[in-house]
Amino acid sequence: MTTDARDAFGTLLQRHRGIVFKVVNTYTRHPDDRDELAQEIAAQLWRAYPGYDPTRTFTTWMYRIALNVAISFVRSSAQRGRHDVPLDEGLHDLADANADGPEASEQLRALHRFIHAQEPLNRALLMLYLEDRSHREISDVLGISETNVATKISRLRQRIGNEL
């Protein structure tokens, strides 16, 4: 890859790094896992970048790769039985860092508990929903129909209402 392409990729990654952070945080609890997953996502994005079609949305492309890497990571981590830390311990650094107050931290914990209770694919859906992504983009990222996205989101909202 040329230096220009490398710089362009670096700029895009820097601009959209929040996507990587949020995916990482949605799929991991342990700080070591966070670093490892973030690096795996960055490496996979870098490898796939030569095949990126600039006529398509960069964020959609990025979500697809980041979520695919994260889901595979979480499945292989579960098989290896690694870093099964208690939930609150894993959240400690984020929930308490510059906390706005006990209520905000408790909401954050409840959100994390709910996210981590979901299956990996539903977790992706939930994350994209919380990100306010359109049904069309969610459908494009996940590879399911828009109708299916709407149905799933409706069920998700119902579960949120019941469980939180």
Partner 1 sequence: METDELKVAWLDLDKRLAQSDRINLALYKDSKVDKARTSLRPLFWGQVLQMLFGIAFIALASLLWMQGPTMPASVLVVGIFVHVYGIAVTAMSGMTLGLIRGIDYAASVVAIQKQLARLRRAYIISGMVAGLPWWLLWVAVLIVLAGLGGGDLVAKAPALLWIALGIGIPGLLGTWWFHRWSHISARPKLAKAVHDSLTGSSLRKAQRVLDEIEQFRTE
DSSP-derived secondary structure letter, 27: H
Q: How far is the CB of 45 from partner 1 (least distance, A)?
A: 7
The span from the CA of 115 to the CA of 74, in Å, is 13
> Which residues of this protein are in contact with partner 1, per CB under 8 A?
6, 9-10, 13, 17-18, 20-22, 24-25, 31, 34-35, 38-40, 42-48, 51-52, 61, 64-65, 67-69, 71-72, 75-76, 79, 93-94, 97-98, 100, 104, 107-108, 110-111, 114, 119, 121-122, 124, 130-132, 140-144, 148, 157, 160-161, 164
What Å distances lie between residue 71 and 48, 113, 146, 160, CA to CA? 17, 18, 21, 22
Residue with Cβ nearer partner 1 (80 or 86) = 80
Q: How far is the CB of 88 from partner 1 (least distance, A)?
A: 15
The span from the CA of 26 to the CA of 115, in Å, is 7
Residue with Cβ nearer partner 1 (114 or 146) = 114
Residue with Cβ nearer partner 1 (86 or 110) = 110
Q: How far is the CB of 115 from partner 1 (least distance, A)?
A: 9
What Å distances lie between residue 4 and 1, 8, 9, 95, 120, CA to CA? 8, 6, 9, 39, 36
The span from the CA of 124 to the CA of 63, in Å, is 9
Q: How far is the CB of 59 from partner 1 (least distance, A)?
A: 13
What's the token pair of residue 94? 């984020």
Residue with Cβ nearer partner 1 (46 or 83) = 46
Q: How would you label 139-158 residue by residue, b for 16+ Cβ within 10 Å and e otherwise?
A: bbbbeeeeeebeebbeebee
Q: How far is the CB of 10 from partner 1 (least distance, A)?
A: 7
